[in-house]
Amino acid sequence: MIAHGGCTEPGGVELADERWEAPCPRCGQSAEHGHVERAEGSLNIHHTLACDHCGHQEGFDWMNP
C-alpha cells in the first residue's frame, strides 16, 4: 500500500507489511510474526504475532479500535 498526504514524500510512501516465522513466546512452536506499517495521522508500526499451534495472538488490537 502507498500512503499519500501533505507530510509524506512526493509520490507517496510504500507502507511495510513484513511477515516471518519465529518461535511463539507461549508454546515455543513456529508462529507468524509481522510488522505492519499504517498511516494513522503519522506512520505507525504495529508488531503482530499469531500462533496456529496454541492460538496465541498479540498486536491485533489496532484492527478493531
24 within a domain of the structure (yes/no): yes
**pLDDT score at 14:** 82
6 within a domain of the structure (yes/no): no
**pLDDT score at 19:** 95
Count of domains for the chain: 1
What digits encode the pLDDT tens for the residues 7-65? 556 667 788 889 999 999 999 999 999 998 887 777 888 899 999 999 999 988 877 75
11 within a domain of the structure (yes/no): no
39 within a domain of the structure (yes/no): yes
Per-residue exposure over 25-48, b if at least 16 CB sit within 10 Å of its own CB, e if not: eeeeeebebeebbbbeeeeeeeeb
Give the range of the structural domain holding residue 35, as residue numbers without chain letter: 17-63
21 within a domain of the structure (yes/no): yes
46 within a domain of the structure (yes/no): yes
Residue 29: which CATH number? 2.20.25
**pLDDT score at 33:** 96
Q: Which residues contact 37 (CB under 8 A, 6 or more apart)?
A: 15, 16, 17, 43, 44, 45, 46
8 within a domain of the structure (yes/no): no
pTM of the model: 0.71
**pLDDT score at 16:** 83
